[in-house]
Amino acid sequence: MSDEVRIVEAEAGDAKQVLDLLKQLDQETETFTVEDDLDNLTVDTESQQLKIIQASRENLILLAKYQGQSIGLATVMKSDTDEFGEVGVAVLSDFWGQGLGTALMEETLTWGETFSWLSGLVLTVQARNVTAAHIYTKLGFKEIKRNKKGFRDKSGILFETIDMKLAFN
């Protein structure tokens, strides 16, 4: 078995791993927002959603896999208000600091520029997540707005967020 991390597009058969990964990420970090109804999602429902997403040129879920297990993901969901997709990236804490977030973002940008119908990507990053903000800037995202009270953590504390945007050529 290879010890390399592979980045692949999520397929219907990955539904259980995606749900398990999202649940673990929800416990490990507050820098990646997970749907409130995550506990109510079934593997069958997620499998159907992944089929729809995989057939889309406006939505994407990439998985970082190590030894057959999903250890990180990148998502793109088209905005309802414009032609941009909103990006989310998260990696399990055991794998932080190894360049996986950057690799997931680079693959997302390649998909966006070469395959998607989107005009670009947007994201919101917590200002306290300096590493992620630096990666996004390095990859070409521009800061468009700061929100002093943009994120409330599980204990109710408010944190500043930064809205960023990258337009495709």
Domain ranges of the chain: 5-167
* pLDDT tens-digit series, residues 43-80: 999 999 999 999 999 999 999 999 999 999 999 999 88
* pLDDT tens-digit series, residues 5-48: 999 999 999 999 999 999 999 888 777 766 667 778 899 999 99
pTM of the shown model: 0.90
Q: Sorting pLDDT into bands at 50, 70 and 90, what band is 1? A: very low
- DSSP label of 136: H
How many CA atoms, within 13 angstroms, populate the side-chain half-sphere of residue 22?
23
Distance (Å, rounded) from C-alpha 106 to C-alpha 109? 5
Q: Is the pLDDT of residue 147 over 50?
A: yes
Homologous superfamily assigned to 5-167: Gcn5-related N-acetyltransferase (GNAT) (3.40.630.30)
